[in-house]
A and B are shown apart, each in its own frame.
Chain A
Amino acid sequence: MFADYSAAELTSIFAMQGFAGLSLFSVFVLMALGLAIIFGQMGVINMAHGEFMILGAYVTWLTSGFFSSHLPGLFAAYFPVAILLAFLASALLGGAVEWLLIRHLYKRPLDTLLATWGLSLILQQAYRSIFGAREVGVRMPDWMMGSYAITDMIEVPINGLFVMGISLLTALGVYLLMYRSTWGRKVRAVVQNRPMAGAVGINTQQVDRVTFALGCGIAGIAGSAFTMIGSTGPTAGQLYIVDTFLVVVFGGAQSLLGTIASAFTISQAQSTMEFFLSGSMAKVYTLLVVVGILMVRPQGLFASRIRH
């Protein structure tokens, strides 16, 4: 499939597609981070994670609409505000869902799978009713539209760089929270031994609720990033949940670095192959490679080597 291109052309195609994949990478990192935090803390696989992302995307869309009609002078600055609001909205919904639904099902893992799947359907319908079935697109501020031309043929999209910065900052923030804060210490204690964490005085249910909210909030940030690469519709989250599972499994569920590396690999592979193949064939090949690698390393690429 490479035969029709010269070596120079191939180099720039790979570079361009690689940079174009930055936004996808960001979405994957954030989605996987949220999913992995929730899974690590309470063993819940949140099937509605894509819908929490889409909530963030809708909030971003609403924010951009609000700024363009009410604060046109500040439109250039709407995106950071949107990210914050997206985080808050998804985190609040996440906290409420934990309280209403998830906490009653912790001892029944299969039921949480079904319950969160049901929740994803409910949320999709809610989005359809509230925002309409048509997909909506977000208008980017001008400064995010352009791209840096590195060479004649290679250009880097600014929005991709910006969004990647946001997601790496979020990942760093999560790291600091987990390893440098009181709250993170409680989370790690609960992850390691839940009954014992309670027996040293940690309110494990409260830790659960905050963790679930945080994971969902990060999905909301992913939704903001998502508006850069796709249009937002009620079911758009569905397309990403499978990819996100892939990223988490491929990276090894407990490793932050593994998650980032795995998100990078998968997003780059998809983005590059999409240039040469159809999108769905690119997915098929990615899946095959991931399955192949997992057969050799079932614990994931970067499984943590911590003694227990």
Chain B
Amino acid sequence: MLDISGLCVSYGESRIINDLNMRIGENEIVAIVGRNGMGKTTLMKSLVGMHPSSAGSIRLDERDLAPLQSYQRVRAGIGFVPQGRMIFSTMTVRENIETGLSASGEKRIPEHLYELFPVLKDMRSRRGGNLSGGQQQQLAIARALAGRPKVLLLDEPTEGIQPSIIHELARTLRRIRDEHGLSIIVSEQVLSFVLDVADRVLVMEKGVLVHEAERAAIDEQVIAGFLSV
């Protein structure tokens, strides 16, 4: 499915991601956990092409995405929900989702997106900037799904969201995976959410994957240890 090998990413002289290798399978949900500044966002941005990688390959169904520009990677099957959501705040909810159609070439917003997030249908004429944090998160996910991705990347989706709906978000992600048959990579710091959502957990420290565990074998104490300062 998605096969990343030898990936290196730098900001200027400082190398953030160093020779990273990972692979995710069809329908798999992988969580990458790590404290602030460990390189999760850098990895996500390099996967979607918002920041170039200096070496390595990112193969999606055998096609190397590394030389492609952002929009080409998205058209090849990457969907991206960035940290901080980055919705287009002056555009309406509907227009925000429609921007995602650029990748699939469809004309209309698929009805199942509104089924997934009914609140977006009610608010479709509101400006994105006027939505609450949780609603903006739904909008950012809907916008990414509008491009019909094969792999959905979410960068710290629980950040700035009320604890009461974090559990709901985990359920939604599993539902998306089941209904759309896509794979999900999610970066996180909230352990309860990770345990809710992930089939497999990878721990990132200073740009390197230092620990890996399948769902059944996850040791909460160990992961909590990585997350505590």
Contacts and interface: CB of A to CB of B under 8 A. Distances in A.
A binds B: yes
Interface of A: 182, 185-186, 188-189, 192-193, 195-204, 306-308
Contacts of A197: 99
A186 B99 contact: yes
A84 B99 CA distance: 31
Given A199-B50, A200-B102, A193 B129 contact: no
Interface in B90-110: 90-91, 95, 98-100, 102-104
B100 A307 contact: no
Contacts, number: 74
Interface stretch (B67-75, B191-199, B200-208): B67-75
A122 to B, nearest CB: 31
Contacts of B74: 198-201
Interface of B: 48-50, 69-71, 74-75, 80, 82, 86, 88-91, 95, 98-100, 102-104, 127, 129-130, 143-144, 147
B198 to A, nearest CB: 23
A40 to B, nearest CB: 12
B80 A199 contact: yes
B89 A200 contact: no
B68 to A, nearest CB: 11
B82 A199 contact: yes
25 contacts: A185-B98, A185-B99, A188-B88, A192-B90, A198-B69, A198-B71, A198-B74, A199-B48, A199-B70, A199-B71, A199-B82, A200-B74, A200-B99, A200-B100, A200-B144, A201-B74, A201-B75, A202-B99, A203-B71, A203-B102, A204-B71, A307-B89, A307-B90, A307-B127, A308-B129
Which of A185, A202, A307, A308 has most B Cβ within 10 Å? Answer: A185
Nearest to A188: B91
Which of B70, B74, B90, B104 has most A Cβ within 10 Å? Answer: B70
Contacts of B127: 307
B108 to A, nearest CB: 12
A189 B86 contact: no
Which of B75, B80, B89, B99 has most A Cβ within 10 Å? Answer: B99
Contacts of B95: 185, 188
A200 B69 contact: no
Contact of B100 (A193, A201, A204, A306): A201
Nearest to A204: B71
Nearest to B104: A201
Contacts of B75: 201
A189 B70 CA distance: 14
Q: Which 3 pairs from chain A and chain B are nearest by CB?
A: A201-B103, A198-B70, A201-B74
A202 B88 contact: no
B99 A306 contact: no
Contacts of A192: 88-91
Nearest to B98: A185
Which of A182, A197, A199 has most B Cβ within 10 Å? Answer: A199
Contacts of A306: 90
B212 to A, nearest CB: 27
Contacts of A203: 71, 102
Nearest to A193: B86
